[in-house]
Structure 1
Amino acid sequence: MDTAPLRVTIDGETHAFPAGLTALQALRTLGRALPTLCHDDRLTPTGQCWSCAVEVSPARGLPFRPRPACREPLREGCEIRSGGAALDAFRRQMFEQLAERVAPAELERFPDKPLHCELLRHGIAARAPAAGTAPVDASHPHIRVDMNRCIGCLRCVRICDDLQGESVWRAVGNGADLRVVTAGEVPLADSACVGCGACVDTCPTAALTDARAWREPAATAWTRTVCPYCAVGCELEVGVADGRIVAARPALDGPANQGHLCAKGRYAQGYVDAPDRVTAPRLRRNGRWESAGWEEAIACAADGLRRIVAAHGPDAVGVLGSARATNEENYLAQKFARVVLGTNNVDCCARVCHTPSAVALGRMLGAGAATNSFDDIERAACFLVVGANPLENHPVAGARIRQRVRRGARLIVVDPRRTALAAIADVHLPLRPGTDVALLNALAHVLFAEDLLDRDFLAARVDGVEAFAAHVAPWTPERAAGLCGVPPEAIRAAARLYARARPAMCLHGLGLTEHVQGTEGVMALIDLALLTGQIGRPGAGVNPLRGQNNVQGAALMGCEPGSLTGGARLADARDRFAAVWGVAPPATPGLNLLGMLDAARAGRLKALYVIGYDVLASLADARVAAAALARLELVIVQDLFLNETARAFGHVFLPAVSSFEKDGTFTSSERRVQRVRRVLAPRGAALDDAQILCRLAAALGHGASFAQPQAEAVWDEVRRLWPAAAGLSYARLQTRGLQWPCVDAGDPGTAVLHVERFAHGARAVLAPIDPRADDERADADYPFLLGTGRHLHAFNVGTMTGRTPQQALRPTDTLDMHPYDARQLGLGDGMPVRVESRHGDAVLPLRVTDAVAPGRLFATFHDPVRAVNRLTGPRRDTITDTPDYKVTAVRVRPA
């Protein structure tokens, strides 16, 4: 391919440009701005408005003709004029006409809107009346709609179609009669809008604006940081005025989000200044929380820990790191446990979500992390989505998947529910909850039976093929269908599709991992990727969709009882860590989160230090968890709010800051380490987690080992101990995140793992897995199977989203039930119902929907008042202790 630069003359000067640019892009590289009222770099250019018009001549001496620069490709030898009397007069006339759509107050409030910029640049007065003829739609908590200001550029229509994929906006009529309306012409709050704000971003006028922009002053400073919600790792720019967050917008060059955000990332920052934010330490005295100073609170926590360690030994204390804290803070948390307290009793919330993924990937491939990148979504020819609902739980990645499918990629969805992705899938396998292993064995059976294997890949890189073939030989689709409740031909169709599409990407979520066989389910999924050679190549791999912003980082930093920073095994790395720390990590095996609660219930664990994690509200079998917490002599909670754990069982509360009030790094699902930057001053007397840990360590006599709470200094210590991150200096992370492994300053990072060899060696071994009989069954007393999970507008147990306008979009949890079941029980949509399991009960409003099959129910778990985890039971993954949140037998009756 010819990659020689093009010689192009622009405004009389000749320049060289790489092939493939448009005239608009070329002019921008020269620092020459043109107005672009219908153009957005995230969209395919249409040249509809002609505001970016230039005059183009194919070659010197030939006539010039006007062309829209946004869709005019550069050609060798062409000449371009970006201005001149005719073009300037044309643009001014256009803006004079469009000024009839702009009110003076809007011009002042939104000077950065593209049309408003041009009016200000040309000195043209806004001339629209303050109130238009069409009513303003203020129904949505995030987005204000005033189509009196619409200029018909259709950017909102195109970005909703082409970026988010919801198709909320429609163009009606033509020419002067053209109108932009919601589908069905309903209020925006009643439409399919998911509140991502992309239409607001792109709108060149005040037709679509952020609702809070009418209440808040305009931002006076913008800071780039990383979203504090899911682990897609979206980068955003946060606007501040008067010391408060007043706006957020996507970073157009964000590696994972590429100029997009979901509603939470764009609008849900209000928790930072929530009225019940705790910004000074508190101590519980005589059953009541009382304010205290830092010196007193630290002394109280230190005295309690010192007393318990002296009386019962270091393993009587447990420490829990936080998926919401930075890598640096989690590193200090596990170092505190091991150096200051002398225990390996340290864990984090990865235990209840994706520890099965990390363990399965680590055992079989040598690295417990996603094999590929989010950019590989656009390279995939097929997706196998297992137990994940990315359009709701990882919305930006989900939108990318959906758009890729609309452009021709094939899609297989394995999920008991008919999710939005399942609705557009080529094959949907609505399996009976808890039967994943049987289904995956049947898919593997078809690969052997129909010779759909990648024989070359198996010969070069995989062992145990014959034994595995014998294992899956009895697992015919017909046999699996009897257990899973899906048609045999659908299983065959899915296997053929996944094996023949090249490349095919597996993405999985908590619907696969939060089971008794969660780890083995992920191992069975890895088997499929190995059998078909769908690993070690772009657009393929096995990729867990991590739930919280830094859950990957928390575990990798060593908040895990059996491994140290970087996933190093304790037995292998103790000497290396001792050389840096000056103290060897303890050799005694530590307890994971569930083991800690078991020990507390048995009276062996006496104290728990919980950082940024609401254990009581989050854990399955909530009543048993409460009983364990009640037996502890000391519970130290470090958080933004008095969460349910602190409220019921806390003794010391240490107020921490949000991610917007500190510096550090997060690690996303795709192994990308990204810079988190301070946007705001810390609220009140709150401190970041690193400062609190260092103060507490000093009070316990280890100040010298915790003398550097500054984020960069801590990260440099991490890099000394984790060879795979040695090249990830703050200087290199300043402009863009990088993916580990990144071993030195010249390493660009690793987008795809296992390309030539696996992380643990040249060959992987297949893992034959047998499904286990499930002791949690529906019967005459408990006829329904309930699974729990998230919905789009809330996050985890609502600690953050519950204190923002997001709450208005779905105020509380619901129970989803099929219409047939609702009719049989005489229940109606919206009716409060009591759900009872063998473990507890909860009252929820009913949502009647055919997204669930008859006999199956689904409930969200975001509202602590509903306490849905009172329903879930004690069953755990047999390898990692991850609770089973997805299979609970229940009955339902009117409340």
Structure 2
Amino acid sequence: MPRLRIDGLAVSCPAGTSLLTAAVGAGIDIPALCHDPRLNPAGHCRLCVVEIDGAARPAAACTTPAADGAVVRTDTTEIRDLRKGLLEMLVAHYPADAPGRAPDLRFHRLLTEYGVRPTATAQSSRVDDSHPAIRVDLNTCISCWRCVRICDEVQGQFTWRIAGRGADSRIVPDSGDTLAASSCVSCGACVDTCPTGALSDTSVLTLGRPTEWTRTTCPYCAVGCEMTVGTREGRITDIRPVLDAPVNRGQLCAKGRYGFGFTAAPDRITTPLLRGADGQWRAAGWDEAISVAVTGMRTLIDRGGPASVGVLGSARATNEENYLAQKFARVVLGTNNIDCCARVCHAPSAAGLAAVFGTGAATNSFDDIDLARTIVVCGSNTTEAHPVVGARIKQAALRGAGLIVIDPRRIELARFADIHLRPHPGTNVAVLNSIAAAIVDENMVDTGFLARRVSGFDDFGSFIGAYTPERAAAITGLDPVDVRRAARRYARHGPSMLFHGLGITEHVQGTDAVMCLANLALLTGNVGTPGAGCNPLRGQNNVQGAAVMGCEPHHLTGSAPIAESAAPTAAVWGAPVPEARGLDAMEMLDAAAAGAVHGLWVIGWDILQTQPRTPSVADALAGLDVLVVQDLFLNETARRYGTVFLPAAAAFEKDGTFMNSERRVQRVRAALAPPGLAKTDTDILCLAAAAGGRRASFTYRDAEDVWDEVRRVWPAGAGMSYARLQQPGGLQWPCPDLDHPGTALLHQHSFPGIGQRAALRSVRFRPSAELADTAFPFVLITGRELFAFNSGTMTSRSTTAALTGVTALDISPDDAATIGVGEGDAVRVASRHGEMVLPCHLSDSMLAGTVFATFSSPDIPVNTVVGPGRDHVTHTPEYKVTAVNLQPAVDNCGVKAPTAPAGRPPSR
């Protein structure tokens, strides 16, 4: 560890630390313009020069390593004169009025400190206002190239380029034209790093620079990025990534960076609403609205028993709020009819991983991406659905890690992959079995690991022989040579890390496919070790947490079976846990359609737009006597069938915690007050509990008070106090006591509840009922796109709406020619269950015979055509495989459907 002196101060630092980093760590500020801690040091600007005893000339502190015994001076007269001269060169063409317009920018503060005044005049031709979120003003560009480097080194998008040479060099987007027409994914990293305002956020220019900043966790996907939220006069004007966050390391995606406008959307509901006998909504006070909601549910319970009502928790709500939702269902309503939207996405991940490993959660951490020699991405368009993790995987591949992509579509990561397997949709079990068969057939198993940690290999070996790549090819459509190449890469070049998404789980064999992934890890010893494991990429910000908190019919907090944890939970609650079997979300809707469930309390989940078979869901909801909707907006569920609407606070308006995909619990902090009369879900549920006669069981001082009760009923989370969660990145469970550091890696020595050995599972392939035939020759896959999130509740009301293309049907050019349609033409998509009309987008990413659509627009009811197929274990719907027929729909439209906005691709 080098020990040196900087400006007379004794400093020690790890070997390899630069002088700049060492100085910053000691509280010594050295000016630097081309430096960003997220980037490799470049030494372009030379502003960070320092004097070192014994050196012939000043050295750039960012590229000079700290040496033991060095004596460094950072602020001598000679150094200041040198810096002033450099600054004078940088402002040769800099607008004179720029520092006054944004005096707080780093570059402008340096100009003031060193007495340097620019004198140039701005040219309008150097301004690009084409992008809805980012303004480009090259009048203030000083050629530090930080934007270029961060786009390359961190995001891996390579949007910004350097054009020209010498004094004529400048940055340009890869489109050669405007930023809006480029490959920009709107992560905002270039804006974050720009020291001059050449790249700036439109929201700041429009709404003003923030006056307060609040650290919190992103409310979008379950990557769990930490961010600082900038507010001014009660409104969010800017969001920036947190540099010391272990999950995102100073990155955000377009949704986290620019998807905050929904908080101030004009259609935000801020007062309780009741639907009158005439079918119209009217405003109400909280006392009346809560009374109507609770009295309505109690009346149904008196008439039909607790089984006649149910509660649906929210993956957008905090852990504390979901804990209260399931407690409200069980203590106040007396029912185990409680679920959350994990049911329709990653319930198979939890079930499959728990069946094999004993814990239904990710085995490893995102940091292990840097340790993996091989990464396998199955059924996840990661750079669009989980962009920050996608960028980390992309960067790992660029550094030399092997990458295998298993997906019918040619997603962005496929461009960086060594091997891309494109199976027929719905054949995941056969695909993964064929990889396992190749591993066994070519003797690539980890015999030592099998001997120590795995059981059932002999039976599995006999079973898996039926799925050799050559035999499975008729099912999967894959070239056996490619399958064997993938098997060799995964088995022989470890540690190997598996990531999977909804392309694995949203099938009739979703749980089975997850168990097949676990088989691969067991066969090769890629579990319980860094850089390996099985890792689901969960969808919404707190979908993991909602389920773990007990928003499931058969589990209490900690995903503990009711039979095992009812007694200790009841002791903490001071109330019994219902014994009757509960219904999951799919079963509740079935029961509603059958007239057995008459009331639902739905929190933060637009089930009408997101559930499959939309007409059937509508019929079920129409038959309810009471439908309480607790949300930010009058979503489709509320608008059409709600009887009571309770306005809720957004994630930016509350305190609590979220739980990300890697079991990490992180703090959520309020940056704003809820608008109008809106309340947090905690406050709403406590009011409802009091109205239901259970006030004493729902008396909490704040979110921390709720969390402390969670810790009492969840042994694996007992050590995660709010005080400890204040640290960057929070803690990962299991964390059983206050001295425990948290668990980044599961199953190092044993499998919880199972023992030292896990059993291989012999999983047979069972085809979906949604088989293509002459009447329905195409297979529709549904999913997300980069700029829209789920049903669009938040993104459609933010700047991201302008980035989102037209919701379209992606189809291969050959298939489009076969049915006689071109780009933007309207297509009627008919399945055995329903039909819709939407424009088509010709895409080379599509496999012949497959088409793709998102479901983020309520104007295009994509889920209308999805069938009744469900995972046989968890009842998760089969969103990813629907047999459809395609026909031109000119008779419906008369003209071509609208194309995407200029410069933006259609939604995909």
Q: TM-score, normalised by structure 1?
A: 0.98
Q: Does residue 779 of structure 2 align to residue 778 of structure 1?
A: no
The residue correspondences of 1:239-258 to structure 2 (distance < 5 A) are 239-258=230-249
The aligned counterpart of 1:790 is 784
- Give CA deviations for 1:274-309 in whole Å, capped at 9, x if unaligned: 000000000000200111110110110011011001
Among 835, 840, 854, the alignment partner of 2:834 is 840
Structure 1 residues 889, 585: CA separation in 2 closer, same or farther (over 3 Å shift)?
A: same
Q: Does residue 743 of structure 2 align to residue 747 of structure 1?
A: no
Instruction: Kindly state the Cα deviation for residue 133 of structure 1 after the two structures are TM-superposed.
Output: 5.8
In structure 2, C-alpha distance between the alignment counterparts of 1:560 and 1:536, rounded to whole Å: 28
The residue correspondences of 1:355-370 to structure 2 (distance < 5 A) are 355-370=347-362
Instruction: Kindly state the Cα deviation for residue 592 of structure 1 after the two structures are TM-superposed.
Output: 0.1
The aligned counterpart of 2:430 is 438
In structure 2, C-alpha distance between the alignment counterparts of 1:211 and 1:153, rounded to whole Å: 22
Instruction: Kindly state the Cα deviation for residue 826 of structure 1 after the two structures are TM-superposed.
Output: 1.6
Question: Is contact 1:417-1:853 (8 Å) kept?
Answer: yes
In structure 1, C-alpha distance between the alignment counterparts of 2:514 and 2:13, rounded to whole Å: 48
In structure 2, C-alpha distance between the alignment counterparts of 1:328 and 1:32, rounded to whole Å: 41
Q: Does residue 213 of structure 2 align to residue 217 of structure 1?
A: no
Structure 1 residues 213, 599: CA separation in 2 closer, same or farther (over 3 Å shift)?
A: same
- Give CA deviations for 1:620-640 in whole Å, capped at 9, x if unaligned: 111111111111110000000
Local SS of the residue matching 1:865: coil
The aligned counterpart of 2:147 is 156
Question: Is contact 2:12-2:22 (8 Å) kept?
Answer: no
Instruction: Kindly state the Cα deviation for residue 363 of structure 1 after the two structures are TM-superposed.
Output: 1.2
Q: Does residue 609 of structure 2 align to residue 613 of structure 1?
A: no
Aligned residue identity for 2:886: V
Local SS of the residue matching 2:637: helix
Q: Does residue 78 of structure 2 align to residue 86 of structure 1?
A: yes
The aligned counterpart of 2:45 is 49
- Give CA deviations for 1:708-766 in whole Å, capped at 9, x if unaligned: 16100000000011011111000001122110111111111100000111122211011
Instruction: Kindly state the Cα deviation for residue 111 of structure 1 after the two structures are TM-superposed.
Output: 3.0
Local SS of the residue matching 1:515: coil
In structure 1, C-alpha distance between the alignment counterparts of 2:735 and 2:541, rounded to whole Å: 21
The aligned counterpart of 1:142 is 133
The aligned counterpart of 1:596 is 588
- Give CA deviations for 1:389-444 in whole Å, capped at 9, x if unaligned: 11000000000000000000001111010001112211111000000111111111
Among 252, 274, 279, the alignment partner of 1:287 is 279
In structure 2, C-alpha distance between the alignment counterparts of 1:334 and 1:106, rounded to whole Å: 55
Instruction: Kindly state the Cα deviation for residue 30 of structure 1 after the two structures are TM-superposed.
Output: 2.2
Segments of 5+ residues of structure 2 without an aligned counterpart are 890-908
- Give CA deviations for 1:561-583 in whole Å, capped at 9, x if unaligned: 00000011100111101110111
Structure 1 residues 63, 375: CA separation in 2 closer, same or farther (over 3 Å shift)?
A: closer
In structure 2, C-alpha distance between the alignment counterparts of 1:836 and 1:169, rounded to whole Å: 42
Aligned residue identity for 2:495: P
In structure 1, C-alpha distance between the alignment counterparts of 2:96 and 2:859, rounded to whole Å: 46
In structure 2, C-alpha distance between the alignment counterparts of 1:104 and 1:727, rounded to whole Å: 56
In structure 1, C-alpha distance between the alignment counterparts of 2:125 and 2:92, rounded to whole Å: 15
In structure 1, C-alpha distance between the alignment counterparts of 2:509 and 2:247, rounded to whole Å: 31
In structure 2, C-alpha distance between the alignment counterparts of 1:685 and 1:12, rounded to whole Å: 57
Q: Does residue 174 of structure 2 align to residue 196 of structure 1?
A: no
In structure 2, C-alpha distance between the alignment counterparts of 1:14 and 1:411, rounded to whole Å: 46
In structure 2, C-alpha distance between the alignment counterparts of 1:250 and 1:101, rounded to whole Å: 31
The residue correspondences of 1:18-57 to structure 2 (distance < 5 A) are 18-57=14-53
Aligned residue identity for 1:31: G
Question: Is contact 2:426-2:767 (8 Å) kept?
Answer: no
Local SS of the residue matching 1:434: coil
Question: Is contact 1:155-1:199 (8 Å) kept?
Answer: yes
The residue correspondences of 1:294-693 to structure 2 (distance < 5 A) are 294-693=286-685
The aligned counterpart of 2:893 is none
Question: Is contact 2:294-2:691 (8 Å) kept?
Answer: yes
Question: Is contact 2:719-2:739 (8 Å) kept?
Answer: yes
Question: Is contact 2:98-2:140 (8 Å) kept?
Answer: no
Among 866, 873, 885, the alignment partner of 2:879 is 885
- Give CA deviations for 1:342-377 in whole Å, capped at 9, x if unaligned: 100000000000000001111111111000000001
Q: Does residue 848 of structure 2 align to residue 854 of structure 1?
A: yes
Question: Is contact 1:101-1:150 (8 Å) kept?
Answer: no
Local SS of the residue matching 2:438: helix
- Give CA deviations for 1:471-512 in whole Å, capped at 9, x if unaligned: 101111111111111101011001010001110000000000
Structure 1 residues 230, 63: CA separation in 2 closer, same or farther (over 3 Å shift)?
A: closer
In structure 1, C-alpha distance between the alignment counterparts of 2:103 and 2:368, rounded to whole Å: 38
Local SS of the residue matching 2:17: coil
Segments of 5+ residues of structure 1 without an aligned counterpart are none
In structure 2, C-alpha distance between the alignment counterparts of 1:109 and 1:519, rounded to whole Å: 57
In structure 1, C-alpha distance between the alignment counterparts of 2:681 and 2:706, rounded to whole Å: 12
Which range moves more in the overlay, 132-141 or 206-215? 132-141
Local SS of the residue matching 1:224: strand
Among 243, 253, 256, the alignment partner of 1:265 is 256
Local SS of the residue matching 1:96: helix
Q: Does residue 188 of structure 2 align to residue 226 of structure 1?
A: no
Question: Is contact 2:4-2:68 (8 Å) kept?
Answer: yes
The aligned counterpart of 1:74 is 66
Aligned residue identity for 1:745: L
Question: Is contact 1:842-1:866 (8 Å) kept?
Answer: yes
Question: Is contact 1:694-1:709 (8 Å) kept?
Answer: no
Q: Does residue 695 of structure 2 align to residue 703 of structure 1?
A: yes
In structure 2, C-alpha distance between the alignment counterparts of 1:19 and 1:493, rounded to whole Å: 40
Among 848, 858, 874, the alignment partner of 1:864 is 858
Aligned residue identity for 2:32: T
Instruction: Kindly state the Cα deviation for residue 65 of structure 1 after the two structures are TM-superposed.
Output: 2.1
Instruction: Kindly state the Cα deviation for residue 104 of structure 1 after the two structures are TM-superposed.
Output: 4.8
Among 167, 171, 175, the alignment partner of 1:176 is 167
Which range moves more in the overlay, 830-839 or 513-522? 830-839
In structure 2, C-alpha distance between the alignment counterparts of 1:871 and 1:42, rounded to whole Å: 45
Question: Is contact 1:109-1:218 (8 Å) kept?
Answer: no
Aligned residue identity for 2:11: H
Local SS of the residue matching 2:806: coil
Instruction: Kindly state the Cα deviation for residue 29 of structure 1 after the two structures are TM-superposed.
Output: 2.0
In structure 2, C-alpha distance between the alignment counterparts of 1:559 and 1:200, rounded to whole Å: 40
Instruction: Kindly state the Cα deviation for residue 15 of structure 1 after the two structures are TM-superposed.
Output: 3.5
In structure 2, C-alpha distance between the alignment counterparts of 1:707 and 1:314, rounded to whole Å: 23
Instruction: Kindly state the Cα deviation for residue 19 of structure 1 after the two structures are TM-superposed.
Output: 2.1
Instruction: Kindly state the Cα deviation for residue 64 of structure 1 after the two structures are TM-superposed.
Output: 4.6
Aligned residue identity for 1:381: R
The aligned counterpart of 1:822 is 816
Question: Is contact 1:345-1:596 (8 Å) kept?
Answer: yes
Local SS of the residue matching 1:674: strand
Aligned residue identity for 2:523: L
Aligned residue identity for 1:353: C
Aligned residue identity for 2:51: E
Q: TM-score, normalised by structure 2?
A: 0.96
In structure 2, C-alpha distance between the alignment counterparts of 1:52 and 1:639, rounded to whole Å: 51
